[in-house]
Structure 1
Amino acid sequence: MKPIVAIGDVHGLEKWRSIVDEHEDCTIVFLGDYLDPYEYITRRQQLDNLRDIIELKKRRMDDVVLLLGNHDLHYFCDRALPGSRYDFQIERFAEAMFNANIELFQYAYQQGNRIFTHAGIQHSWFVDDFKGDLTQPIAHQLNNPESIQFNAMLRLGHARGGRIGKIGGIFWADISELTDPLHGYTQIVGHNRVDDITERCGYNDNKIIFCDCLRNGKYYYEE
């Protein structure tokens, strides 16, 4: 298997370009959130940047993975709650771009016991809320949810403004909620801003690696 690179939340930044150029022999996983920048980036630049990421995927279908985040879903999914910095001036362009290329995106990616999602999977959320099957491939279940399971995937936990006692789904889970990541797996996620790649290990052969630090030029790499 190829070495793997995971690029955290893009949010309009172009730093991914040099990372991709440096790792042409790797599988590249984008962890989602392509729009809604924290800093000033023109709307044209944001959309062009997303378009270039989509074109990269089309050129390298077998070794580029595009995951979706909460800042992507809210532009084209009526069931997704709008996140911060939602931009009404680009919504119709973003919606059209995502819908025209929706087959290129996915919710989760898995290589063996490594699982990539936008925000991460708390073990109790997968078992109790998503009603997943721990004996079956995890990413396949997340990429092919039943309607009620998709509701759980879209859920906000209490840490992000949801109901008390609730844990966020794979688009919204907060770092404070991911205290016991999915047992038996190593997860690589974005969504929660960190200054550098940050690991959290559990007691059930479980680990979660937070990678939302592209703004600092940092990314996940594993041979």
Structure 2
Amino acid sequence: MNKVIAIGDIHGSTKWRNIIDGNKDAQIVFLGDYLDPYVEYDCDEILDNLIEIIDFKRNNKDRVVLLLGNHDLHYISSDAEICTRFDFRIARKAGILFIENFKLFQYAFQLKDIIFTHAGISQRWFEKDFKGNIEHNIADQLNNPTDNQIEALCRIGAGRGGEEGRVGGIFWADRSELKDPLHGFTQVVGHNRVEDITKWVYPDDNKIIFCDCLENGKYFEMHI
């Protein structure tokens, strides 16, 4: 069996280093949000931490996955919604880092029936809004959206200040919008802060595991 480690939202923290040091042979999945810390960091420290993560991926391409989160998109595209704590001091340099290394990042990752995204996938959003095909590989569809799917992919739902009645896409979905996650799959997500790794189990052979607790030194480990 192969060990898989999921590391929740980074937000400038260097605690990920200790995790990878103790799991040298594991598949490592970063769940996104590398910048915009909750506490004050020096600008160079924030950028150096992102550079170190990118270098770690570049040197371990087969076993490291870098997902993107909502706090990353707003440095990449001027069309992305500006999130709280957007740092204008580093915006230009951060944007260059993301764009120059964009091929090292992805939107989703899948191992069998386990799907990793930043914020999660609801059944309703996938079927009605994204118009995905449940019979095909989910991550492939999310990583290669058509022009007609991009708006839904980046959508902000009502739980995070979007239009009432809307469900957020994989960068923005709030836990209140994940009451019926994608049927038949286990999802591993960040975005929604928790004190410790938290699992929700549903009746349609679907589970969702919340991992945004790196600030407490917590991370998710599984064997596949």
Normalised to the residue count of structure 2, the TM-score between the two structures is 0.98
Cα distance in 1 for partners of 2:78, 2:183 equals: 32
Could you list the runs of 4 or more consecutive aligned residues of structure 1 that deviate by over 3 angstroms after TM superposition? Answer: none
CA shift for structure 1 position 148: 2.1
Query: Is the partner of 1:141 in helix, strand or coil?
Result: helix
Q: Which runs of 5+ in 1 are unaligned?
A: none
Query: Is the partner of 1:147 in helix, strand or coil?
Result: coil
Q: Give deviations 1:59-114, integer Å, cap 9, x for gaps.
A: 10000000000000100112211111001111100000001100000000000000
- Aligned amino acid, residue 78 of structure 1: S
Match of 2:205 in 1: 205
Match of 2:186 in 1: 186
- Aligned amino acid, residue 7 of structure 2: I
- Aligned amino acid, residue 40 of structure 1: E
Normalised to the residue count of structure 1, the TM-score between the two structures is 0.99
Match of 2:35 in 1: 35
CA shift for structure 1 position 150: 1.1
- Aligned amino acid, residue 162 of structure 1: G
Q: Which runs of 5+ in 2 are unaligned?
A: none
CA shift for structure 1 position 119: 0.2
Cα distance in 1 for partners of 2:95, 2:22 equals: 31
Cα distance in 1 for partners of 2:26, 2:116 equals: 15
Cα distance in 2 for partners of 1:136, 1:5 equals: 25
Match of 1:69 in 2: 69
CA shift for structure 1 position 116: 0.1
Q: State the percentage of identical aligned residues.
A: 57
- How many pairs are equivalent? 223
CA shift for structure 1 position 37: 0.2
Matched, 1:95 2:95: yes
Q: Give deviations 1:142-195, integer Å, cap 9, x for gaps.
A: 000012211101111001000110000000000111001100000000000000
Cα distance in 2 for partners of 1:41, 1:214 equals: 16
Cα distance in 2 for partners of 1:147, 1:161 equals: 24
CA shift for structure 1 position 216: 0.1
